[in-house]
Chains A and B, each alone.
Chain A
């Protein structure tokens, strides 16, 4: 019987070698371990054994059963793994195919630049002020020290609604409206749409956008203006950016300056973008004219302030290397997608 058990074990092992799939494995299991299986039939024959032999052989049968069951379990695991591997191999996909087409939109380049500018100044403690685009001549000109027939009105050819109302030519009237209502300290930027009677071409548009800044407080100096503009320029155009101020004339600031930034393309060495000058004009700025403060009921003996303004279109065109202003207002999807 001992001999018989060994033979069964050996035969089973030999059959296991050839197992290809679950089905044949199950057949082998039934053949050896099933109700009518060979091992079971040995157990059935145990009745003929002596009382001494019975536990010994029983132990032997159990050992062989355990051995066979273990083998079956191992082979089963192996088969499952194989099957999974085969499936996985079949399931391979071309990961270089494009992803599912999802759409999110894009911010207009002007908004992107505006957002960046706002972020810089919000971080420096400024608030954002807004005002009407259809504006009183008084706020757009008179209160800014530009009386009727002032030659400065020539450089800002305006659209008139009537003698008293214009489409604002600058965002500066917002300054006046804020100063009339609010006592210093005032720290605001005023982004917005402005209008000048320039026909549409590659570098002009009758509608464009400005961001105006205004600070009024005790002891505000021109040094503060320069420092602020430096921080701004570095934030917007990169840490290595320098600024250069040139005296200029604006009726509502004194001293007044035009502000250049070192060319973002060549860094100041001179290239096509900066017309070999190394500098690109970007801002107008100055110390708020005492007359303007007075007009708004702020005593220029106690308070001083600075103001600055920049064109958003020009900045965006520089930043993104856009060569034609009309593209900004055409809204061609193929253009908008690029930003």
Chain B
């Protein structure tokens, strides 16, 4: 809400400068968004009148003018094509400040010029502010302001404060509401305009029109006045300037008056050309399915039964609270009007304006729910201004349909409770005086407060506490630290600690943490090579997404990690390692909410390979003490290279996959060919990590090492060889270390050589060679039997 300060001053004395005012209002609850000074950097620009105009002897396009600027007559050489003798124009005198710089005396083709006639561009104004200004050329005043007067005064180029009005305070969407807040904040007087309507028209409004409301839930009050002998013309300068400064474009006297009253009193008004209302009956009803209306902006709007319209007997003439219809618009031909002042259901207006896509000054007010007690004062104010401006004759009487007059709300003022909630010690008398200024009716015996009708936000004592606190100033409340409260221990849960530990390990293993979006596009399924009925395709779908790319909740983090790699790869970052701990979302049949599963995603590209990724995962398992993890070949995960993917499990629980991304998938996501990704469930890792630690004694007896190289079929897994060795090695086998796998010369085709270093040790004695040889014999025998492994000669 934009409020020109000079307008606000009509209703309240302001005894502080504008910055102080902005600060004080902000801390009392009317947040100042911006202060705009329309006259900023304009000085010494005054009203002048052209008294003579002569040709320039040496230039066809220039004219030499004598301009009366009040105290003197100055000579100005101008090239403006649109000025004539007798015109009143803004004149920047020598030494004037303009947004474009200072003005100096000049010589134009040998003739001295002591000033400049200004266009609105030169004054940094727009056509929205001065709609009657010519597109090119100097601005010409439409009236005859006093010569020599400062144009800032004439054009209302003064400071405007823009307030952020919260949705609970529709009363502050008005100059009067803001003035009331200002008066209490500054402790000065609040002055309402005196509203008197002379009603010089003939007959009675009820002779011309009747009103019926079909559903009082949707409109609690509808009041109308009629005006005859209407004379449509521009509204006076002062009104136009105020409207423009508040951000509304002046149109004509009737429309401007309705807008003026809306800005002043917070009650949107509408004027219909009564001639266009058939049957002299205004009906407030729901729109019919299939009904349409062309609104004032020339657009045809389709209506539905959830929308409220103002209609006559035959047709809708306005979308209630949103915008009027073209069919009853005020035109220069209008002779008789109907003025509407009404309240509509806020939620309904909000939905309608959203559906239709119009958010007008009126709808932004209506949707917050307006005060039905303000309807008649606003209607009368409108009538009063019409009379004052000679825009028409107001017919005596008001047609007022008020089916749902609300009961006044009462709340008891309990000063102790308020002080208790705020942690303050504010006197009861101070509170009472405050509520009186806020126009609550205070019954001192019972301490019962009647809430004014315009404060629908005040319903319980906590609301009273806020009123007290904001005028006491929140910042005057003494800060304390839960002195009276129960003491608590702050700590992370085991899972939270483990998650931090996992992240810490990822960092120390050289991975950078990423944050990616948790919604994605259903297109990623095909790019991931997921078959049609794949389980991951079953996702939580957003009904109103920001586009297809963000339309489902992800069921896997692979596409986002590939996205990270793509970004870096495309930007010529040579290699990268990343991790993220985040959720995937899996719908659960017959349940409202999906399962949200936390996963660890690791992504690598560049100078790296499968075993580097596996090393990271293994090192993580070491650090969080998981010793029953298993990696088994996985050929069927469609997104991974079938020969370079492992299913990871802990005990009997599968926790995810690691591997090289399938080259086709990598290419679909514009990633390098060798891209490695692991996705592992966090919860089973935490459940299976054993963080209970216990010391076991250091070895006292020497170890005996044996190296063996085995020749096995190429397809035999190292994992299976390990299992046999561990199984047959007996208690004395301390460590099994694979140190070489070799294929090629000296190894038969289709076979490979696998070399191990085995360490034997006993905890209670020095081993003798025979014991170790016996264990080795067992191992080799079993390897031969089970895996057809032979010792390499």
Contacts and interface: CB of A to CB of B under 8 A. Distances in A.
B514 A126 contact: no
A128 B511 CA distance: 26
Majority secondary structure, B binding face: loop
Interface stretch (B245-253, B481-489, B699-707): B481-489
B424 A223 contact: yes
Contacts of B487: 125
Contacts of A227: 479-482
A122 B492 contact: yes
A155 B422 CA distance: 28
Interface stretch (B516-524, B746-754, B773-781): B516-524
B576 A254 contact: no
Contacts of B568: 331-333
A236 interface: no
Contacts of B466: 247, 254-256
Contact of A134 (B166, B481, B540): B540
A111 interface: yes
Nearest to B484: A219
B513 A159 contact: no
Given A197-B544, A246-B31, A247-B470, A215 B485 contact: yes
B420 A221 contact: yes
Interface in A177-228: 184-185, 187, 193, 197, 199, 206-207, 215, 217-224, 226-228
A133 B594 CA distance: 10
Given A219-B485, A331-B578, A187 B490 contact: yes
A29 interface: no
A18 interface: no
Interface in B458-488: 460-463, 465-466, 469-470, 474-475, 477-488
A23 interface: no
A123 interface: yes
A10 B27 CA distance: 104
Interface stretch (A56-64, A73-81, A92-100, A101-109): A101-109
B484 A218 contact: yes
Interface residues of A, number: 83
Contacts of A256: 466
Contacts, number: 241
Given A151-B167, A247-B28, A248-B166, A185 B486 contact: yes
B577 A105 contact: yes
A133 B550 CA distance: 15
Given A221-B421, A257-B474, A287-B462, A185 B480 contact: no
Contact of A162 (B31, B474, B543): B543
A160 B485 contact: no
A148 B422 CA distance: 30
A171 interface: no
Q: Which of A215, A245, A334 has the most C-beta atoms of chain B within 10 angstroms of its own C-beta? A: A245
Contacts of B506: 105
A152 B514 CA distance: 33
Q: Which of B491, B513, B540 has the most C-beta atoms of chain A within 10 angstroms of its own C-beta? A: B513
A333 B486 CA distance: 46
Given A160-B543, A223-B423, A228 B482 contact: yes
B494 interface: no
A1 B781 CA distance: 83
B588 to A, nearest CB: 11
A32 interface: no
B177 to A, nearest CB: 14
B333 to A, nearest CB: 39
A224 B516 CA distance: 37
B540 A126 contact: no
A288 B677 CA distance: 45
Given A132-B593, A159-B545, A330-B567, A125 B489 contact: yes
A107 B579 CA distance: 10
A167 B577 contact: no
A332 B565 CA distance: 9
Nearest to B578: A331
A304 B577 contact: no
Contacts of B515: 108, 110, 328-329, 331
B493 interface: yes
Contacts of A314: none
Given A217-B486, A254-B463, A105 B509 contact: yes
A160 B488 contact: no
A127 interface: yes
A104 B540 contact: no
Nearest to A119: B490
Contacts of A149: 346-347, 350-351
B503 interface: yes
A104 B544 contact: no
A215 B482 contact: yes
B26 A159 contact: no
Q: Which of A164, A184, A226, A230 has the most C-beta atoms of chain B within 10 angstroms of its own C-beta? A: A226
A289 B459 CA distance: 12
B508 interface: yes
- What 5 A-B pairs are tightest by C-beta distance, nearest first? A223-B423, A221-B423, A149-B347, A255-B466, A247-B29
27 contacts: A103-B577, A104-B507, A108-B514, A110-B515, A122-B490, A125-B489, A128-B493, A133-B518, A133-B585, A134-B540, A135-B593, A149-B351, A151-B167, A164-B592, A207-B518, A207-B519, A222-B422, A223-B424, A224-B481, A224-B485, A226-B479, A227-B480, A245-B474, A255-B466, A256-B466, A289-B462, A290-B461
